[in-house]
Structure 1
């Protein structure tokens, strides 16, 4: 009996889905057929027949081994959107990149964001803080921050003199970037370009995050 037909009889191109999904999973894993054979103990000849499409009715035990290795469900091997179902989390710490409007909406604007419901992410070195997020630079921030720069923001650390901070001004619809200057009891929010104005940090505004690093990415 054809295993593929038995598992998902409603599908009309099961063999094509299986072949395409396995090819995509192999590419995502960054290995070749020989390495997959070594990792799974499946004979190289069997792997080659499956990945070349010469075997359209592989053993269920072989498919189960492959599914376990790629960390997917057996039935998903026959779906038409397997990579959407199983998006990889990059190495390091993956941060969501949000908008300047979204970052002022709540104390933790990324609390409910995952790789399955949010598309824009950036990877930085491993950190032990799940509240950190990225903000894209604005054209007004040039030339200090060229287009394509992502500001990495930590909302939980206390800023010190000279830090770049994310500020929520009263009645503003989006956050702003400023440089914090502290001179004794006086605190000033300095603009990052010459055309901006200097604001006193007097309680009418709120610092919601501190820039801890930046990353540059080429635009799509």
Structure 2
């Protein structure tokens, strides 16, 4: 019986170690592209020559890394079917603006953010870099974004405006016919900007996480 896939196990182990694909590949002397494919699930049955140094690094057996033997504490904490927690890639704002173009290999390289929020397919995380949405979302806030969440009035959305490559965050409202975008910071412009068909909604913010101390 297979408890989890190699990809799932590696993602969880890397999350707990707070290590990225590039650094792990360097430490175990495996080509980064090879490891990216394994983590992304594009190579479901890796060679023993790939698995052995990874298992040694995480101090588990190859059979545990393959998912045929349980890793104490891991299966219970990260059962993909029963756990309320989900790992999401932490994207930068340029990547969020071209979400549909991101490859599994690139996503596998990204730092993971753990959330209990219900997020649809291709969910991701972002970090606020400025004060444009204060006081609701101060700089440093981690945003959990769901690209499948239905658009409605008075939500916070990640949007890529016409002619731009970088995504931004805005509050969205509607008059029943059209949608409008707005900043929150009273020190910045508070004008409503009409959403056009050329603008792309990349997702809806469903959770915000920040350090309180």
Equivalent residue of 2:143, what SS?
A: strand
Q: CA deviation at 1:215?
A: 1.0
C-alpha separation between the residues in 1 aligned to 2:55 and 2:182? 57
Q: CA deviation at 1:112?
A: 3.9
1:137-152 equivalence runs, <5 A: 137-140=128-131, 141-152=133-144
Cα RMSD of the aligned pairs, angstroms, is: 3.6
* Unaligned stretches of 5+ residues in structure 1: 1-24, 29-72
What is the number of equivalent residue pairs in this alignment? 145
- Structure 1 counterpart of 2:201, from 203, 207, 212: 207
C-alpha separation between the residues in 1 aligned to 2:183 and 2:156? 10
C-alpha separation between the residues in 2 aligned to 1:189 and 1:180? 5
- Structure 1 counterpart of 2:58, from 67, 70, 83: 83
Equivalent residue of 1:203, what SS?
A: coil
Normalised by the length of structure 1, the TM-score is: 0.54
Q: CA deviation at 1:210?
A: 0.6
Q: CA deviation at 1:173?
A: 2.8
Does structure 2 conserve the Cα–Cα contact (< 8 Å) formed by 1:111 and 1:131?
no
Matching residue of 1:160: 152
Matching residue of 1:187: 179
- Structure 2 counterpart of 1:101, from 89, 94, 97: 94
Q: Deviations over 1:31-61 (max 9, x none)?
A: xxxxxxxxxxxxxxxxxxxxxxxxxxxxxxx
C-alpha separation between the residues in 2 aligned to 1:176 and 1:84? 42
Equivalent residue of 1:101, what SS?
A: helix
Does structure 2 conserve the Cα–Cα contact (< 8 Å) formed by 1:155 and 1:208?
yes
Does structure 1 conserve the Cα–Cα contact (< 8 Å) formed by 2:122 and 2:147?
yes
Structure having greater relative contact order (Cα 8 Å, sep ≥ 6): 2
Q: Deviations over 1:125-156 (max 9, x none)?
A: 16463411001012223332123311111111
Q: CA deviation at 1:171?
A: 1.6
Q: CA deviation at 1:83?
A: 3.4
1:11-160 equivalence runs, <5 A: 75-76=52-53, 79=56, 82-83=57-58, 91=78, 92-107=85-100, 109=102, 111-113=104-106, 117-118=109-110, 120-125=111-116, 127=118, 129-140=120-131, 141-160=133-152
Larger Rg: 1
Normalised by the length of structure 2, the TM-score is: 0.56
C-alpha separation between the residues in 1 aligned to 2:95 and 2:159? 13
* Unaligned stretches of 5+ residues in structure 2: 1-12, 17-49, 66-73, 79-84
